[in-house]
Chain A
Amino acid sequence: MKAVVGGIILTPSETIENGTILIDGGKILSIGRGVRVPEDAEVIDAKGKYVTPGLVDGHSHVGMVTDGIDWEDSDVNDYYGPVTPYMRAIDGINLYDDGFREALSGGVTTVYTGPGSSNVIGGIGMIAKTHARTPQEMVIKGFASVKMALGPKRTPDEAKPKAPYPTTRMGSVALVRGALFRARDYMDGRLDPDKLDKEEKMMMDVLSELLRGKVPAHIHTSNMPDEIFAVVRIIEEFRIRATIDHGFGSELVAEILAEKKIPVIYGPVMMARRSAGSRYVSDKAPGILSSKGVKTSIMTDHPVIPEKYLRLSAAICVRNGMDPTEALKAITLNPAESIGVGERLGSIEPGKDADLVIFSGQPLKIKSTVEKVFTDGKIAYQTQSNTND
């Protein structure tokens, strides 16, 4: 048993000063001010430090684009065709990507990672803890979502795809609807499975899980706020669960998203606003979304913003008007809930995984540093100066 003692605990919804967290068997046993520490417990002194849940990134490509060899070894976008729901992140991920190790040093203990946005339905995303090096240890969900991406598509000149890519936003939505209609026919027995080729059957099996509500879709919207309405229409037409990923311009329609309870995983912040559509990019958006009641998460989109800067991304949103508690929730509890692991991760509560970060100061200040990171109750990272403690 371990006891983290004396810290300012941000659960993140509540602040408990001089609190104690008891950890047993990789899970949080209890938390509070008056928690008695058993005599045989290993005590971790956090006096004057801040303690938060392990940070969660709701949208990244860690392990899909290996740090430092992106151009030479990018495995994030496959130009086989625009609809490839059966391609699985877990079959292409590099568990030894330094991005995972760096994530830990920034306090990020869990990431959603998966296919990129070049395909309309790109494949199956996964959720992984960042400390482990084998699929058995690190994968929380191998089939965590179906990744979709609206907006016009471009293929590199050298690619020879099996099917043409849509060049307009209408085209992308039409492909999504077409695939989901066909999957519904398949589920309802209107398609004879024996007459489908193997590839098409795999496609239907994946999309059926989405239509049954077993997994959510992560729907990438590019730069235009009108794509948000397309997402709303797809969700309502097919009654699927989905998050809006990136969501540039989503703050303009925040009321609608709040009413329909559609979560937004926003970002990355600090964007290079190179494209014409990036006029809707605003680092004020997460603050506006959360103040209007939208469940808001902040993403790094690693490698776009390196994973270790997830905390800094939330701090940038605070600088742009976001409430600090909401900003911390946007990199812990909200993404955990939005990607479907809220029962296990994202907050410091009895029964949840003991994934904790100890910061030298207020976590959303730049000059605070990550001192210790625990995953499943074990120390996973600590700064050099603490090694000899």
Chain B
Amino acid sequence: MTVSDLLKLLVVEGREIRTQSERGVIKNGKILIMEGRIAKVGRDIEVPGDAEVISSDVVTPGLIDAHTHLGIAPIESSDRDPSGADASDPVSPHLRVVDALNPLDPGMKDALKGGVTTAVVSAGSGMSWAMMVEAVTIMPGQNAVMKMNGRILNECSGVKMALGEHPLRFLRSLKMTPTTRMGIIAIIRSYLEKAQRYREMGEIPETEKERKKFEALIPLLRGDYPAHIHVHIIRDILSALKFAEEFGIKVVLVHATESHMIADELAQKGVPIVFGPIMFPRRGRELMNLTAKTPALLEEKGILFAISTDHPATPIEYLPINVGLAESEGLKDGLKTVTVNAAKIAGVWDRVGSIEPGKDADIAIFSGDPMEIDSQVTYTIIDGKVEYRRE
């Protein structure tokens, strides 16, 4: 961002500003943007003479996709490129997606077309129909949070883990072990235990690589960041909850395809969920119970959850359409799942996710109901700068 960008004043006028803050919806309101941040929000804001003014219809916070592989699992590239899931060692919590992000990934432009301004970039997988196995290991690395202007909000927002059929199939294709669910849990437990001993008793790791792994797991044990755990079915969700409790670590359940079937238990434990992708082939037993009805049920039970595209599994520009689909199946406040909830789960709520003074000026503008098919994103603004304008 240049100095002149910073000095420019921008005012967004909206027929309806859905602030996602305590102020709710402001009709015929204005947002004053200064130095990339939101300065004022309200009905009676004086427009400075030198400000650029955008008059618009429905204004929301920039949307947030809480689980993607954008910038790490390439699109329009070799379809066997497993980037994001290193095949040399199934337990690699020390790898960081932030070290390999492609700042020119075409998915970033697609995101802007859908009003998405921030995405969690996750290590591992990035499944598509064309791939015979989902490339994901037990611990493929650390996730990052990136804005669609390339700015990194958090270099390490969590350690990715994966349970169940998908890592097992990938490991089998590499002729690696373990080969059972028990094996996966045993390995995760042994690493967490060793990291705990390293942290508490200074036990010397056998190799320098081990030390790196333990150091990546210590913030997890301290509660500085959560584990983002790829799970689909109930048995794996229960396993995740069990070792999370055992080690006192925070977890985010990613995909959680069968979460609606044990929603009461999840609500009671207060575990956050990133649900999706929704419009996806039901590959293998683990996806058999995939349904667009899940978000409505999670909402009813008061569970903190976000809806995600799992880009590139489904294109990120259709994040609002995924939310609309869930709304057609009974979800009431879909916008919240991809703003407030996603920001909280991604650990960036202090910066983004609502239209409030002091927060980053990340704003999406729609021509109508944001989640309906015939509404279009007319502007996407990040850090106070118009990054996308519909022609």
The interface of chain A, by Cβ under 8 A from chain B, is 67-72, 156, 270-276, 278-279, 303-306, 309, 312, 315-316, 318-319, 364-369
Q: Is the CB of A274 within 8 A of B328?
A: no
Contact of B129 among A156, A272, A309 (CB under 8 A): A272
Q: Is the CB of A274 within 8 A of B312?
A: yes
**How far apart sit A276 and B373, CA to CA, in the bound complex (Å)?**
28
Contact of A316 among B129, B289, B321, B327 (CB under 8 A): B321
Given A305-B281, A312-B279: A273 in contact with B76 (beta carbons within 8 A): yes
Contact with A along B46-80 (1 / 0, CB 8 A): 00000000000000000000000000011111110
List the count of A-B residue pairs having beta carbons below 8 Å apart. 108
Which residue from chain B places its CB closest to the CB of A303 in the assembled complex?
B281
The interface of chain B, by Cβ under 8 A from chain A, is 73-79, 126-132, 169, 279-285, 287-289, 312-315, 318, 321, 324-325, 327-328, 371-374, 376
By DSSP majority rule, is chain A's interface helix, strand, loop, or mixed? loop
**How far apart sit A20 and B295, CA to CA, in the bound complex (Å)?**
38
Please name all residues of chain A whose beta carbon is closer than 8 Å to the beta carbon of B287 when the two chains form the complex.
68
Q: Rank and list the top 7 A-B pairs by shortest CB-CB distance, nearest first.
A: A68-B288, A272-B128, A275-B79, A303-B281, A366-B324, A273-B75, A315-B373
Q: Is the CB of A303 within 8 A of B373?
A: no
Q: Is the CB of A366 within 8 A of B373?
A: yes
Q: Is the CB of A276 within 8 A of B77?
A: yes
Q: Is the CB of B129 within 8 A of A364?
A: no
Q: Is the CB of B374 within 8 A of A319?
A: yes
**How far apart sit A365 and B321, CA to CA, in the bound complex (Å)?**
10
Contact of B131 among A273, A274, A316 (CB under 8 A): A274
Q: Is the CB of A68 within 8 A of B130?
A: no
Q: Is the CB of B373 within 8 A of A318?
A: yes
Please name all residues of chain B whose beta carbon is closer than 8 Å to the beta carbon of A309 when the two chains form the complex.
279
Q: Least Cβ distance of A63 to chain B in Å? A: 14
Q: Is the CB of B374 within 8 A of A318?
A: yes
Contact of A275 among B73, B130, B376 (CB under 8 A): B130
Q: Is the CB of B373 within 8 A of A364?
A: yes
Contact of B76 among A156, A276, A316, A366 (CB under 8 A): A276
Q: Least Cβ distance of B209 to chain A in Å? A: 30
Q: Is the CB of B75 within 8 A of A71?
A: no
**How far apart sit A276 and B79, CA to CA, in the bound complex (Å)?**
7
Q: Is the CB of A367 within 8 A of B78?
A: no
Please name all residues of chain A whose beta carbon is closer than 8 Å to the beta carbon of B289 when the two chains form the complex.
68
**5 residue pairs from A and B, CB less than 8 Å apart:** A68-B288, A70-B281, A70-B283, A156-B132, A365-B374
**How far apart sit A316 and B254, CA to CA, in the bound complex (Å)?**
26
Please name all residues of chain B whose beta carbon is closer than 8 Å to the beta carbon of A276 when the two chains form the complex.
76-79
Q: Which of B73, B79, B285, B313 has the most CB of A within 10 A?
A: B79
**How far apart sit A156 and B131, CA to CA, in the bound complex (Å)?**
12
Please name all residues of chain A whose beta carbon is closer than 8 Å to the beta carbon of B78 when the two chains form the complex.
275-276
Given A270-B314, A318-B373: A369 in contact with B285 (beta carbons within 8 A): no
Q: Is the CB of B283 within 8 A of A71?
A: yes
Please name all residues of chain B whose beta carbon is closer than 8 Å to the beta carbon of A275 when the two chains form the complex.
76-79, 130
Q: Is the CB of B327 within 8 A of A367?
A: yes
Please name all residues of chain A whose beta carbon is closer than 8 Å to the beta carbon of B131 when the two chains form the complex.
274
Q: Is the CB of A272 within 8 A of B282?
A: no
Which residue from chain B places its CB closest to the CB of A360 in the assembled complex?
B328
Q: Is the CB of A72 within 8 A of B279?
A: no
Q: Least Cβ distance of B132 to chain A in Å? A: 7
**How far apart sit A366 and B279, CA to CA, in the bound complex (Å)?**
13
Which residue from chain A places its CB closest to the CB of B311 in the assembled complex?
A272
Given A272-B312, A367-B327: A304 in contact with B129 (beta carbons within 8 A): yes
Given A366-B325, A366-B373, A367-B327: A272 in contact with B315 (beta carbons within 8 A): yes
Q: Least Cβ distance of A383 to chain B in Å? A: 11
Q: Which of A274, A304, A364 has the most CB of B within 10 A?
A: A274
Q: Is the CB of A274 within 8 A of B284?
A: no
Contact of B285 among A68, A274, A303, A316 (CB under 8 A): A68
